[in-house]
C-alpha cells in the first residue's frame, strides 16, 4: 500500500505543481480586482487543498518511522499553539488556552510527529467551533514515567457513533479528508501511547493521550 500511495502521490503532485506555477504566473499579470484574477485565486486555493489531501494520504499510507528522542512536551505545545494562533483558521471568537507545568515535561518521542498530533487535533477542534469557542491543552504527570495530554474544545461535540468511528480513515465529522485523526492514532500507537475520546453533542470533545516519559 505504501508503494502504491507514493506512486499515486507522484503522479498527482508533479502536474499539480506545474499547474499551480503556471497559474501563479498568469495571476501576477492580472488586475487584482478583476473577475479572472479572483477565479485564479480560487484555483490556487483549491490546488493547495488537493495537495494537502495527497499529503495526508501519503502520511497515512506510508508513515515515516518515528525517531525517538527526548522531547519537551511543554515547549512543543507552546510552539504549536503559537503557530496556530497566527494561522487563518483561528478567528476572533477562538480562545487558545494551556494548563502546563512550569517544569519541562520530557517524553520519549519524535518531535515532528508529536507536533503533528497537536496540530491535527487542534485544527479538528477549530473546525468543530466555526463560530468561536475555547480550545484548551493540559499536561500532567499521572504516574512515574507516564504523561497525560488532554485536548478539550467547546465545539459541537459528537454522537456515540461518530466517536466510535473517529479514528477510521476517511471518516470525518468536520468536512475534512478524514485522515488527520487517523494519522494521530497511528503516531500515538507507534509511540507506545494510548488515546481516548469523550464527547457529547452540544457539549464539546476531550481527547486524552498518554505517553511514556523519558527515563
* Cβ contact 49:16 at 8 Å: no
Query: Nearest-CA neighbor of 182 among 193, 190, 170?
Result: 170
Encode the chain (215 residues) as per-residue pLDDT tens digits. 555 556 666 567 677 777 778 888 887 887 767 788 888 888 888 777 777 777 777 667 667 788 889 999 999 999 999 988 888 789 889 999 999 999 999 999 999 999 989 999 999 999 999 999 999 999 999 988 899 999 999 999 999 999 999 998 877 666 666 678 988 999 999 999 999 999 999 999 999 999 999 87
Distances (CA, A) of 173 to 165, 168, 176: 9, 11, 8
pTM listed for this prediction: 0.75
CATH 3.40.1280.10 fits 69-212, yes or no: no
Amino acid at each position: 500500500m505504501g508503494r502504491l500511495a507514493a506512486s499515486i502521490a507522484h503522479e498527482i503532485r508533479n502536474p499539480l505543481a506545474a499547474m499551480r506555477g503556471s497559474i501563479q504566473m498568469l495571476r501576477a499579470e492580472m488586475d487584482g480586482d478583476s473577475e479572472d484574477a479572483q477565479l485564479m485565486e480560487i484555483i490556487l486555493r483549491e490546488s493547495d487543498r488537493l495537495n494537502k489531501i495527497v499529503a495526508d494520504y501519503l502520511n497515512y499510507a506510508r508513515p515515516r518511522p518515528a525517531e525517538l528522542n527526548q522531547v519537551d512536551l511543554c515547549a512543543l505545545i507552546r510552539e504549536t499553539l503559537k503557530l496556530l494562533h497566527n494561522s487563518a483558521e483561528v478567528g476572533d471568537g477562538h480562545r487558545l488556552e494551556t494548563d502546563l507545568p512550569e517544569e519541562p515535561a520530557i517524553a520519549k518521542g519524535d518531535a515532528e510527529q508529536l507536533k503533528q498530533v497537536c496540530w491535527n487535533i487542534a485544527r479538528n477542534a477549530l473546525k468543530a467551533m466555526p463560530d468561536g469557542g475555547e480550545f484548551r491543552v493540559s499536561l500532567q504527570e499521572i504516574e512515574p514515567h507516564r504523561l497525560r495530554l488532554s485536548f478539550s474544545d467547546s465545539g459541537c461535540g459528537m454522537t456515540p457513533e461518530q466517536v466510535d468511528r473517529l479514528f477510521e480513515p476517511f471518516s470525518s465529522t468536520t468536512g475534512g479528508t478524514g485522515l488527520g485523526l487517523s494519522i494521530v492514532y497511528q503516531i500515538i500507537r507507534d509511540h507506545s501511547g494510548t488515546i481516548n475520546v469523550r464527547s457529547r453533542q452540544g457539549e464539546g470533545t476531550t481527547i486524552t493521550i498518554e505517553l511514556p516519559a523519558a527515563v
